[in-house]
């Protein structure tokens, strides 16, 4: 561990007590999230470094928080749930993430799978996220500034794809970029009516499961400088 990362992690413990973090983990566990590997990664990932300093004291509440540009850092429950769903059939090698945002979900994933490929449409958010991951020495992530509706075809196929914004329909490009047996976790819908879905590429076609109501910001069109 580098000196800088050491300092950062220490600062993390100073700013938000270990007890606050433990409480969050306990709460997630009580809500039915029992994948210990996922919970352990959430416990050790300093979420307060992914929000504005003014909001850092709320970073270990189980809630989404604003990150600017009308976007939010995902709720820890949702990050844990989506990570569990991705990993439920075994370890994953290549995972594509659509909607880097603050980079928090990216940071969690990067500690659970071999490699993460993360696409974001808002350049400034992506730049900040990149910096944070470097600070934390999480190096198995590659970033792309682009439109998540298109996925990242050049590096396909992926064993897992996670979308952290709600899509009006499942993007065809993402289905095309799933490896055999690959898993896509995606909120689908519009406005208040949104459902979390798990789609798996089977030998023939796709299986789909609807997993319950969720609340995400929309998956928009095109990259934004």
- Answer whether 151's CB lies under 8 Å from 98's CB: yes
Whether residue 6 has a cis bond before it, omega within 30° of 0: no
Q: Which of 161, 153, 139 is nearest to 94 (CA)?
A: 161
Residues engaged in binding ligand SAH (CB under 6 A): 67, 71-74, 98-99, 101-102, 104-105, 119-122, 125, 147-149, 164-165, 217, 219-220
Which parts of 88-197 fold into alpha helices (H)? 104-110, 123-135, 172-176
**Least Å distance between CB 205 and ligand SAH?**
25
**Least Å distance between CB 31 and ligand SAH?**
18
What span, in angstroms and rounded, lies between the C-alpha atoms of 182 and 180? 5
Based on CB atoms, which residue is closest to ligand SAH, 92 or 174?
Answer: 174
Q: Is 195 exposed, middle or buried, given 0-12, 13-18 or 19+ CB atoms closer than 10 A?
A: middle
What span, in angstroms and rounded, lies between the C-alpha atoms of 114 and 92? 7
What the block records as the tokens of 51 is 């929000």
- Answer whether 97's CB lies under 8 Å from 117's CB: yes
What span, in angstroms and rounded, lies between the C-alpha atoms of 162 and 118? 9
Q: Which of 17, 74, 83, 110 is catalytic?
A: 74
Based on CB atoms, which residue is closest to ligand SAH, 105 or 177?
Answer: 105
Give, in order, the Cα–Cα distances in Å from 54 to each of 51, 65, 84, 107: 8, 11, 30, 21
- The residue with its CB nearest to ligand SAH is 101
Whether 74 is a known active-site residue: answer yes
- Answer whether 72's CB lies under 8 Å from 63's CB: no
Based on CB atoms, which residue is closest to ligand SAH, 73 or 92?
Answer: 73
**Least Å distance between CB 55 and ligand SAH?**
13
Based on CB atoms, which residue is closest to ligand SAH, 46 or 99?
Answer: 99
**Least Å distance between CB 142 and ligand SAH?**
14
Based on CB atoms, which residue is closest to ligand SAH, 72 or 159?
Answer: 72
**Least Å distance between CB 202 and ligand SAH?**
27
Active site residues: 74
């Amino acid at each position: 561990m580098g000196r800088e990362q050491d300092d950062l992690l220490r600062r993390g413990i100073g700013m938000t007590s270990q007890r606050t973090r433990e409480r969050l983990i306990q709460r997630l566990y009580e809500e039915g999230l029992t994948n210990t590997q996922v919970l352990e990664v959430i416990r050790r990932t300093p979420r307060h470094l992914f929000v504005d300093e003014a909001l850092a004291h709320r970073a270990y509440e189980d809630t989404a928080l604003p990150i600017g540009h009308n976007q939010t850092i995902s709720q820890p429950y949702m990050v844990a749930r989506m990570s569990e769903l991705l990993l439920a059939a075994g370890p994953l090698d290549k995972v594509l993430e659509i909607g880097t945002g603050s980079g928090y979900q990216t940071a969690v994933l990067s500690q659970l799978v071999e490699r993460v490929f993360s696409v974001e449409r808002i350049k400034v958010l992506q730049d900040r996220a990149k910096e944070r991951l470097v600070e934390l020495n999480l190096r198995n992530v590659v970033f792309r500034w682009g439109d998540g509706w298109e996925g990242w075809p050049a590096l396909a196929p992926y064993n897992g794809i996670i979308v952290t914004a709600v899509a009006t329909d499942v993007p065809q490009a993402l289905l095309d970029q799933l490896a055999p047996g690959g898993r896509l976790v995606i909120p689908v819908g519009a406005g208040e009516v949104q459902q979390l879905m798990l789609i798996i590429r089977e030998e023939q076609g796709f299986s789909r499961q609807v997993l319950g109501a969720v609340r995400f910001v929309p998956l928009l069109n095109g990259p934004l400088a």
